[in-house]
Homo-oligomer: A and B are copies of this chain.
Amino acid sequence: MNNIQSYIKEHKTRFINELIELLKIPSVSADSAYKNDVLKTAEAVKTSLENAGCNHVEICPTQGHPIVYGEKVIDKNLPTILVYGHYDVQPPDPINLWDSPPFEPVIKKTDLHPEGAIFARGACDDKGQMYMHVKAMEFMTTTNQLPCNVKFMIEGEEEIGSVNLATYVKANHDKLKNDVILISDTGMIANDVPSITTGLRGLSYVEVEVTGPNRDLHSGLYGGAVANPINILAKMIASLHDENNHITIPGFYDKVEELSKEERAEMAKAPFNLDAYKKALNIEAVYGETGYSTNERNSIRPTLDVNGIWGGYTGEGAKTVIASKAYAKISMRLVPNQDWEEITQLFKTHFENIAPKGVTVNVKPHHGGQGYVTPIDSIGYQAASKAYQDTFGKTPIPQRSGGSIPIVSLFEQELKSKTILMGFGLDSDAIHSPNEHFGIFNYLKGIETIPLFYKYFTELSK
């Protein structure tokens, strides 16, 4: 592509300011209190797509938050790229741990981001990475260099399991027809170690409720004589892992993809410094499944984590009470071949089975999605690899990610096309955490790399 670098240089400040404006809107999809802000964000995305040269831009209503669609079809005979992203964000809490308000973006330098990074909820996940595609589109249309057809599908429910996306996709096969799907919602190893995500973990997210006595009880009068739902919940959660941190749910591992020695050896080549990892998290030791390395534990192995727990008196001071109910939110990360609905059912059955007499258990499935692995010999992967080589001067490393983008396998199933995960964030960008940020370097590098993917994908498709 011609003069992409000069174009970015010229419009850099505007690119950053536009993203900052988008980040100011608190589009928290998990909390209905933010419903209007989510809608406001959808409208802002619609406008940005129109300004970038898209046609037929529309806000498509769903049972939940809407999907923003836009396209530019220049020639039916040319390949079509479908860009997916999401404009919703994770809840910002715990708010008090943010150094600056989550929806008042600020730019600060960090060790890993000497050129500065934008600090705000959604800066990296996914408003920042989604907006790179909008600006790349602007460049290609403004300079008449768009080499193929493009479709944008930007949703507002990714952080709550894309609950209504499947319905939309199933109802719009023709409209969404494409040759490859492009997503920037993952990370890369380092700013000088570009990587492309070739695998994702699946997810099963459930909420459990343990009920004991029909009312809160005085822990003196009843303590020791009735099942305490909190103690029982703790006991049940503890029993979900054995002494080797294997998950104890019967059948849980039956379909887990076992990697070959060679594959594991290949993975082990990815640069990783355990001391730096521990230091960054300020932990004395890592912790996980016996027999696997840290990189394997968070990518090729399934996991079970409690994401939230609550029950009884949690206020100031002391209350001597036995709570009637205790709750937990539990998520399982799944690997290829594990079916999330099957795993959810296995969990439900097991959790209900291990409940002792004296309590009742209610397991409520939240959402989930399948794991995914993409081949590195596809035209899409090759095009992405060449694009990174041009902009980073290095061949990107194929990498399995521990994260989940459930809709990737949905896309393959419904739209019969592969997804390329060109992520430009860093693990240290603190997505889902306080002080989430996205490097200016990464943001601009993304805008520079994406058009080259379009170019090479079109060429290799001939």
**A residues whose Cβ falls under 8 Å from a Cβ of B:** 29-32, 90-91, 93-94, 97, 159-161, 187, 201, 203, 205, 207, 212-228, 230-231, 233-235, 237-239, 241, 281-289, 294-295, 297-298, 301-324, 326-329, 331, 333, 356-360, 366-367, 401-404, 427, 430-435
Q: Give chain B nearest CB distance to A162 CB in angstroms.
A: 12
Asked if B226 contacts A283 (CB within 8 A), the reply is yes
Asked if A310 contacts B310 (CB within 8 A), the reply is yes
Chain B residues, Cβ within 8 Å of A90:
319, 321
State the CA gap A43–B191 with chains docked (Å).
67
Given known A213-B281, A225-B288, contact A219–B356 (CB-CB < 8 A): no
Partner of A212, one of B283, B357, B433: B283
A-B interface, 8 closest residue pairs, ranked by CB to CB distance from nearest:
A224-B303, A30-B317, A220-B403, A308-B312, A227-B287, A238-B238, A285-B357, A214-B282
Q: List 7 A-B contacts (CB under 8 A).
A: A31-B316, A90-B319, A91-B313, A214-B283, A215-B435, A305-B322, A309-B310
State the CA gap A305–B225 with chains docked (Å).
11
Nearest-neighbor residue (CB-CB) of A219 within chain B: B305
Given known A313-B307, A319-B91, contact A433–B223 (CB-CB < 8 A): no
Nearest-neighbor residue (CB-CB) of A333 within chain B: B223
Asked if B212 contacts A331 (CB within 8 A), the reply is no
Asked if A284 contacts B402 (CB within 8 A), the reply is no
Asked if A215 contacts B433 (CB within 8 A), the reply is yes
State the CA gap A213–B321 with chains docked (Å).
30
Asked if B223 contacts A305 (CB within 8 A), the reply is yes
Q: Give chain B nearest CB distance to A347 CB in angstroms.
A: 15
Known: A231-B238, A310-B311. 5 other contacts (CB 8 A): A224-B302, A226-B283, A230-B306, A284-B360, A313-B329
State the CA gap A239–B231 with chains docked (Å).
10
Asked if B331 contacts A221 (CB within 8 A), the reply is no
Asked if B219 contacts A331 (CB within 8 A), the reply is yes
Asked if A331 contacts B356 (CB within 8 A), the reply is no
Chain B residues, Cβ within 8 Å of A309:
230, 233-234, 309-312, 314, 326
Chain B residues, Cβ within 8 Å of A432:
216-219, 319-321
Asked if B281 contacts A308 (CB within 8 A), the reply is no
Asked if A221 contacts B298 (CB within 8 A), the reply is yes
State the CA gap A281–B241 with chains docked (Å).
32
Given known A216-B94, A287-B356, A430-B215, contact A160–B238 (CB-CB < 8 A): no
Partner of A434, one of B30, B216, B305, B427: B216
Partner of A318, one of B304, B313, B366, B430: B366
Asked if B319 contacts A30 (CB within 8 A), the reply is yes
Chain B residues, Cβ within 8 Å of A94:
216
Chain B residues, Cβ within 8 Å of A403:
218, 220-221
Chain B residues, Cβ within 8 Å of A212:
283
Q: Give chain B nearest CB distance to A235 CB in angstroms.
A: 4
Q: Give chain B nearest CB distance to A362 CB in angstroms.
A: 15
Chain B residues, Cβ within 8 Å of A288:
224-226
Q: Give chain B nearest CB distance to A215 CB in angstroms.
A: 5
Asked if A317 contacts B160 (CB within 8 A), the reply is yes
